[in-house]
Structure 1
Amino acid sequence: MFGENEKNVSKLKDFWVEFFADRRDGGHRSSAEEFISMEAKEKLFHLDGGKTLLDFGCGAGELLVYYAPEYEHLVGVDFSASMLDEASKKVRDRKYGNISLIQADDKTVWEKLDCSFDRITAAGVVQYLTSQEIDSFIFNASNYLNKGGKIVLFDILDPRLYPLWKIGLFSQNAGFLNILRKVGFEFKVMLSASLNNHPKDILGFSHNPNAIKKIAEKYNFEATFVKSMYYEYKYHAIMSRTSEVQEF
């Protein structure tokens, strides 16, 4: 049974790798610069300082270029070459010399780093990681975090709210008939995904805050959870070391 589950997760991973292989945008709710700017300001507030930053899953660099004026050195990481190509264009256009870009995934990124960071962040990435992979990510990130640093995971799908958003409960025109239509649509999507061996949800896995908290505490972090301002079905996890004594 466990082996079958591993196979299913592997198939999901392969689908997402293929899905994002040629993408050139980060999948934000809006691609308008005004929206991206507001979203970046919210995230910068929660990042709360530091001089160096690792942005894992930086995508096309939409947020990274807004982080740049606030940090001395930034490293953006993504597995998609097309995404990094777009990020590189944004960096060149804005003439930021303090940003480095690396192509890697959550397993290979660590061997490509040559420094530690005050902040390690990932936005809209955790949904594509299993609980075990989140555990490994936090463990590895803790070894590249400077004293007093933070790991901040943005926009995690909340299993308590995400299903309600999917059926349109948060929509301005929410009503019985509209919700019923949404439920029917989601059922069709799930059925089609099952028949075609695709993920039942293109947005990935949702993770309960309690599960993230347990992983954080395992590696001596205190986790604070904050609801996203711009995605009503997502939350942020802000992790700070409870002690600087423990090493892994």
Structure 2
Amino acid sequence: MPGKNEKKLSKLKDFWVEFFADRKDGGHRSSDEEFISLEAKEKLFHLDGGKTLLDFGCGAGELLVYYAPEYKQLVGVDFSASMLDEASKKIRERKCGNISLIQADDKTVWDKLEYSFDRITAAGVIQYLTLQEIDNFIFNASNYLNKGGKIVLFDILDPRLYPLWKIGLFSQDAGFGKILRKVGFEFKVILSASLSNRPRDILGFAHNPYAIKKIANRYGFETIFVKSMYYEYKYHAIISRTSESREF
């Protein structure tokens, strides 16, 4: 029988699945095309080439259509049908004939892929996975990664900075009174979530970068961490094979 912690995690996953089921946007800080374009340029810089790309958790395809001119073939994956509908519209509008879409989650996607990739990426997704699920994701991704390829996990919540952002410490008008009110509000949110069996934070889990690195090391990868330019409380993990490592 599943333990108490497993049941709790299952409820959290069910909540997030339901929350995103009918969403039609990827939850970017701004829906303005100028902002999305700049965010995509930053991510393309860290993706650093390759000809084929798998975008896991592509959402409504906001970033995917900006990646398209830089790649020969792209596959976008998301579990939400409504998100994929929006992505399809963007793909048609931009005439991106090199993008295909798959409806799947982190467990089912691997059986639906027809080829391997130079780059496998996920933006704003990893925080909805437990460390064990991240371990499984990196292991499975390693089996669909071409030689010299990279796994790039974008916009992971930083447990060292995220709590400070939540209480408004990074805002331009931060002050003692405002921060104190934010702390009180967050306490009420946590208490309410605990009483109603909801996630304490709709944005998911904040994962320590050293935990991500430990997982990547297990599968023969080296990891570089980079601070996000557009989300001051997030970081990116750029995961690539070491020259001595073997393929799994």
Q: Which residue does the alignment assign to 1:156?
A: 156
In the alignment, the residues of structure 2 paired with residue 232 and residue 172 of structure 1 have an alpha-carbon distance, to the nearest angstrom, of 13
Q: Which residue does the alignment assign to 1:210?
A: 210
In the alignment, the residues of structure 2 paired with residue 244 and residue 82 of structure 1 have an alpha-carbon distance, to the nearest angstrom, of 43
Q: Which residue does the alignment assign to 2:233?
A: 233
Instruction: Render the CA deviation track for 1:31-53: whole Å, top value 9, x for unaligned.
Output: 00000000000000000000000
In the alignment, the residues of structure 2 paired with residue 126 and residue 25 of structure 1 have an alpha-carbon distance, to the nearest angstrom, of 17
Q: Answer whether contact 2:91 2:99 (CA < 8 A) is retained.
A: yes
- Displacement of 1:191: 1.1
Q: Which residue does the alignment assign to 1:172?
A: 172
In the alignment, the residues of structure 1 paired with residue 10 and residue 158 of structure 2 have an alpha-carbon distance, to the nearest angstrom, of 23
In the alignment, the residues of structure 1 paired with residue 51 and residue 116 of structure 2 have an alpha-carbon distance, to the nearest angstrom, of 11
Instruction: Render the CA deviation track for 1:216-246: whole Å, top value 9, x for unaligned.
Output: 1100001000000000000000011003752
Superposition pairs of residues 175-194 of structure 1, within 5 angstroms: 175-194=175-194
Unaligned 5+ segments in structure 2 are none
- Displacement of 1:247: 3.0
Alignment of 1:86 onto 2:62? no
In the alignment, the residues of structure 2 paired with residue 61 and residue 114 of structure 1 have an alpha-carbon distance, to the nearest angstrom, of 20
Q: Which residue does the alignment assign to 2:20?
A: 20
Which residue identity lines up with residue 139 of structure 1 in the other structure? F
Question: Normalised by the size of structure 2, how large is the TM-score?
Answer: 0.98
Q: What is the CA RMSD across the aligned residues, in angstroms?
A: 1.2
Q: Secondary structure at the match of 2:223?
A: strand
In the alignment, the residues of structure 2 paired with residue 84 and residue 244 of structure 1 have an alpha-carbon distance, to the nearest angstrom, of 39
Q: Which residue does the alignment assign to 2:219?
A: 219
Q: Which residue does the alignment assign to 1:57?
A: 57
Q: Secondary structure at the match of 1:193?
A: helix
In the alignment, the residues of structure 2 paired with residue 145 and residue 218 of structure 1 have an alpha-carbon distance, to the nearest angstrom, of 16
Which residue identity lines up with residue 37 of structure 1 in the other structure? S
Q: Answer whether contact 1:37 1:66 (CA < 8 A) is retained.
A: yes
Which residue identity lines up with residue 161 of structure 1 in the other structure? L
Q: Which residue does the alignment assign to 1:77?
A: 77
Q: Answer whether contact 1:220 1:243 (CA < 8 A) is retained.
A: no
In the alignment, the residues of structure 1 paired with residue 244 and residue 83 of structure 2 have an alpha-carbon distance, to the nearest angstrom, of 36
Instruction: Render the CA deviation track for 1:189-230: whole Å, top value 9, x for unaligned.
Output: 111111211101000001001000101110000100000000
Question: Normalised by the size of structure 1, how large is the TM-score?
Answer: 0.98
Q: Answer whether contact 1:36 1:63 (CA < 8 A) is retained.
A: yes
Q: Answer whether contact 2:220 2:245 (CA < 8 A) is retained.
A: no
The count of corresponding residues between Structure 1 and Structure 2 is 248
Q: Secondary structure at the match of 1:223?
A: strand
Q: Which residue does the alignment assign to 2:98?
A: 98
In the alignment, the residues of structure 2 paired with residue 181 and residue 140 of structure 1 have an alpha-carbon distance, to the nearest angstrom, of 44
Q: Which residue does the alignment assign to 1:195?
A: 195
In the alignment, the residues of structure 2 paired with residue 61 and residue 79 of structure 1 have an alpha-carbon distance, to the nearest angstrom, of 13
Unaligned 5+ segments in structure 1 are none
Q: Which moved more, 1:164-173 or 1:235-244?
A: 235-244
Which residue identity lines up with residue 233 of structure 1 in the other structure? Y
In the alignment, the residues of structure 2 paired with residue 40 and residue 49 of structure 1 have an alpha-carbon distance, to the nearest angstrom, of 13
Instruction: Render the CA deviation track for 1:51-89: whole Å, top value 9, x for unaligned.
Output: 000000000000000000000000000000000000000
